[in-house]
Structure 1
């Protein structure tokens, strides 16, 4: 079962540029009965391998922007540990509601990309760089907190503020998940929030799935990929918005 979860999450993540945490976390909780925090921590560990395999696949097709990757990864690494520590102590239902609303907002922005791109225009390099740094900081914190890779935040920001194509945004986001995910995963591991016994079957599944998903993505035009991303992000956001339980991690 854990191999199948990893395979599905990896294929899905590689296809649309996400780590797959939005699939892994619910499945780990519902099917394998992990508590929320252990699901978050375990997901982050596995997502490192999604980023490696998916990032390599996109990189071989020249679909990684290295400058953007650095601007996103450095602040993400600095704040990932803080997010992971908060996940171990604070009630997460309010944060999930806020994050869910944010995802839906990002999806709306992405759908309006043609109009917004004309309105925003081409940002000066300095402004674009600052926006990417801020995005990286938010990504790292929320990645550690929610147990996700952060592609749901990075991809819309890179497309709208950096002018990147969907494929390059996805490839770069997958690569950034490696260093930021490592920091968050290590913090969760120290807090005993990682189900180590599941990793031996989940990691091979997610590596195979990520390579397959990233390969399939090369044959799908940009517009359908964007719609796939939007549908997933809206679904994830709606699930978070509906959370009412005051349970803590």
Structure 2
């Protein structure tokens, strides 16, 4: 029963993560904590083991997504490597901070993050792009399949600072970071949305490999639980990428805002009560 539940959670995380570009960890972590700890249906679950499981899963969901975006040529490899360089130290720091978190503290901080992410998803379409970062950085151009040309860019120092914070959140909570970096790339650096998602997933894939090494060394990875989660999440990521081409993802994003908000409020209440 444990393996079946984990496979279902992994599949859902892969589908939703690939469909809306948020990364599967944002689904896997709260769902596994709830089923494993609150319902008592998965043994040996702690905030540390859930995060360890999540980062291993993200290697494969990140790989599946990256391979798909390589085919459509919507990955800015230079930017992805710069963002990755900034996120690595943040990921390492976040993973070590995670080691000292008890369940109430984890729930409280993770709940706050979920509320922030749901709010960001809600207001990102109403925020005006900022030209300052493009004007003060090296400009790049991209022409999409429709012939539309985009000009985007950023100061490298700010990109490194921003992705350090993204890496810290990724290492601390086991999320992919795409939910934070994609809106920032679009609003601050004026990235074309499809290039932002593709580049973000490339960065998430690289960061997940570094993140996993840290969590493996800390003994946070429940290897037996990766058996159902990894293949289910990989298949889910492929399905999500296919669905993304056939349906409006905005409907799911609306639902995801509500889900993240509810999960966030619940986690904060449990964190305070604990």
Query: Distance between the aligned counterparts of 1:5 and 1:231, measured in 2?
Result: 17
Match of 1:102 among 103, 116, 123: 116
1:137 aligns with 2:164: yes
Shift in CA distance, 77/230, structure 1 to aligned 2, threshold 3 Å: farther
Q: Counterpart in 1 of 2:259? A: 235
CA contact under 8 A between 1:103 and 1:234: conserved in structure 2? no
Query: How many Å apart are 1:158 and its aligned residue?
Result: 0.9
Query: Distance between the aligned counterparts of 1:61 and 1:4, measured in 2?
Result: 29
- What stretches of structure 2 of length at least 5 have no aligned partner? 36-40, 138-152
Deviations 1:90-142 (A, max 9, x none): 332442244234324422441214xx12xx34722517234432331111100
Name whichever of 23-32 and 4-13 sits farther off: 23-32
Q: Counterpart in 2 of 1:245? A: 270
Q: Counterpart in 2 of 1:71? A: 82
Deviations 1:63-94 (A, max 9, x none): 21222212211111121011011111033244
Query: 2:50 aligns to what SS in structure 1?
Result: helix
How large is the Cα RMSD of the aligned pairs? Answer: 2.3
Query: Distance between the aligned counterparts of 2:254 and 2:220, measured in 1?
Result: 30
Query: How many Å apart are 1:18 and its aligned residue?
Result: 2.3
Query: How many Å apart are 1:205 and its aligned residue?
Result: 1.2
Q: Is the radius of gyration larger for structure 1 or structure 2?
A: 2
Q: Report the TM-score, using the length of structure 2 for normalisation.
A: 0.78
Shift in CA distance, 218/133, structure 1 to aligned 2, threshold 3 Å: farther
Query: Distance between the aligned counterparts of 2:249 and 2:178, measured in 1?
Result: 13
Q: Which has the higher helix share?
A: 1
Query: Distance between the aligned counterparts of 1:98 and 1:26, measured in 2?
Result: 13
Shift in CA distance, 146/234, structure 1 to aligned 2, threshold 3 Å: farther
Q: Counterpart in 2 of 1:10? A: 14
CA contact under 8 A between 2:69 and 2:75: conserved in structure 1? yes
Query: How many Å apart are 1:17 and its aligned residue?
Result: 1.2
Aligned residues: 240
Q: Counterpart in 1 of 2:142? A: none
CA contact under 8 A between 1:80 and 1:141: conserved in structure 2? yes
Q: Report the TM-score, using the length of structure 1 for normalisation.
A: 0.85
Q: Counterpart in 1 of 2:199? A: 172
Shift in CA distance, 233/183, structure 1 to aligned 2, threshold 3 Å: farther
Query: How many Å apart are 1:21 and its aligned residue?
Result: 0.9
CA contact under 8 A between 1:57 and 1:215: conserved in structure 2? no
1:32 aligns with 2:47: no
- What stretches of structure 1 of length at least 5 have no aligned partner? none
Query: Distance between the aligned counterparts of 2:71 and 2:250, measured in 1?
Result: 21
Q: Counterpart in 2 of 1:128? A: 154
Match of 2:176 among 149, 154, 161: 149
Query: Distance between the aligned counterparts of 1:133 and 1:8, measured in 2?
Result: 32
Name whichever of 73-82 and 226-235 sits farther off: 226-235
Query: How many Å apart are 1:36 and its aligned residue?
Result: 1.9
CA contact under 8 A between 1:77 and 1:179: conserved in structure 2? no
Shift in CA distance, 50/98, structure 1 to aligned 2, threshold 3 Å: same
Query: Distance between the aligned counterparts of 2:180 and 2:262, measured in 1?
Result: 16
